[in-house]
Amino acid sequence: MSRSVLFVNLRRIKREGQEALLAARALGYRVVVLGRALPAFAEPLVDSFHQVDTYDTERSVKLARELAAEHDIAGVPNFTEVDVRLVSAIATDLGLPALPAEAALAARNKYVMKQAISGKVDVLPAYERVTDLAGLRAAVERIGLPAVVKPTGASGSKGIFELRSEADLEPAMTELLRIADPGFDPVFQQFGAEFIVEEYLDGVELSVEGFVAAGQVHVVGITDKVTTDPFHLELTHRFPSALPTDAQATISRQAGEVVRALGFDNCAFHLEAKWGERGMRFLEVAARPAGDYIGSHLVPAATGIPFFENVIRVATGEPLRLTPDRDLHAGLRFVLAGSAGTYAGLDGVAELVDAPGYDHVFTEVPVGAAVKLPPADFGSQRVAAVCARHVHRAGLDALLDAVPEVVTARVTAG
């Protein structure tokens, strides 16, 4: 019987979850999943599913131990943000390549993360931990305005608020206390109503994609990104970066220093930063592959590097495959709903797909679903993603910049 890999839940976006399972299959592994639920798209690709509340670490580790007695588990790859610490605990318990527990905590809590690298003043913004309005006022008095406040343990751009004036503080904290509750999102079972305030950073937004395997950092590349104003939802990603070569070298070096200082090992990483007049300024880093189709589609389309297969290789201790076989530019543009209501579909898709250069149109919200805008909800405004690639960056930019003129979200009132 073939060896197995143990997944802990799957990515929320269907096509990313599917690509993760296909990556394991491509490497010849059987797939065992431990999770809260198994989505229908995954059923044909999963050999064995075992339901458990994965917010219950003790119970989940116990079940994983039982599964290891039944299956020849070769590794426990991590693809999700919320399960970083649980995957670390399971892999460690099974004696498999694992992210160290302290590094896993730092990866999940933005305040702990910055405390762990507090000596790297060359890349860190000013920051403070707060839990209430009084603490927020005091922090802003020391850090200054503009600033940004967000939950320490959230993911997916949930609850990011810009503070431009004193008048912004109370509304932001009111919304944060509403959002940072397990009733709003189960992710807040882990750190609850704990927030981090940071100085607002000017500059170009970017992310660094890579791996740490057996203590060695591998930077695969840098992604240029644009987010919405003022809630910082990702709007577009373009890989590789168009920043100057010397800037990219500095960013790659400093990203490696950060993940090493955090003690990352046996994991993929997705580090977010800004590049400006003061050089690279660090925002945060995740101990898992990038979302938004960057790891699943953009990096492979641009370079031929099978990013998700490498996530499996890291978890099983196999050598990584990092040699590119092409030199292209790949990116995506999200289609945003312009108003709240009921999602009725996309207009312009047929016209778009007839044009060369567009690879995929992925829908993220089903027709008939309710659409809300931030701050009421941070997950439903992005209704679709359009992926494209080109031999030149200027060509990719033209393709993606044309998307909002061609494809629009149809939303009805109600």
What are 92-129's pLDDT values in tens digits? 999 999 999 999 999 999 999 999 999 998 999 999 99
How far is the C-alpha of 271 from the C-alpha of 280, rounded, in Å?
A: 12
Alpha carbon 241 to its chain centroid, in Å, reads: 18
Phi (first) and psi of residue 327, to 5 degrees:
-135, 80
Query: Interhelix angle for 169-179 vs 133-143, to 10°?
Result: 130
Asked if residue 124 lies in contact with residue 114, where contact means CB atoms within 8 angstroms, the answer is yes
155 has a pLDDT exceeding 90: no
pLDDT greater than 80 at residue 414 = no
Looking at every residue in the chain, the average pLDDT score rounds to 95
What is the distance between the terminal CA atoms of the chain, rounded to a whole angstrom?
A: 53
Using a pLDDT cut of 70, give the percent of the chain over it.
99
Candidates 393, 398, 399, 367; CA nearest to 380 is 367
Provide the pLDDT confidence category of residue 185 given band limits of 50, 70 and 90: confident
Mean pLDDT of 17-39: 97
- Pick from 63-72, 118-127, 151-160, 384-393: least confident: 151-160
Pairing label, strands 30-35, 4-8? parallel
Band the pLDDT of 181: cuts 50, 70, 90: confident
Percentage of the chain beyond pLDDT 90 is 90
Query: How confident is the model over 385-406, as a mean pLDDT?
Result: 97
Residue 184 banded pLDDT, cuts 50, 70, 90: confident
User: Pairing state of beta strands 234-239 and 195-199?
Assistant: unpaired
CA distance 121 to 130: 21
Residues 31, 14 contacting (CB under 8 angstroms): no
Top pLDDT among 159 and 334 is at 334
State the number of CA atoms in the 13 A half-sphere of 209 facing the CB.
31
Res 1: pLDDT: 57
Question: Is the model's pLDDT at 199 over the cut of 80?
Answer: yes
- Report pLDDT digits (tens) over 396-410: 999 999 999 999 999
Per-residue pLDDT, 157:
73
Q: Which amino acid is at 196?
A: I
pLDDT (mean) for 339-348: 96
pTM assigned to the model: 0.95
Helix (H/G/I), strand (E/B), else coil: 235: strand
Give the chain's radius of gyration (CA, Å): 21
Window from 170-174, 204-208, 349-353 with minimum mean pLDDT: 349-353
How confident is residue 191, by pLDDT bands cut at 50, 70 and 90?
confident
Q: Which domains does the chain have, with CATH numbers?
A: 4-98 (3.40.50.20), 126-199 (3.30.1490.20), 203-327 (3.30.470.20), 330-413 (3.90.1170.50)
Tell me the average pLDDT across 127-150.
97
Residues with Cβ < 8 Å from 404, sequence gap 6 or more? 333, 335
Largest pairwise CA distance in the chain:
63
Mean pLDDT of 355-369: 95
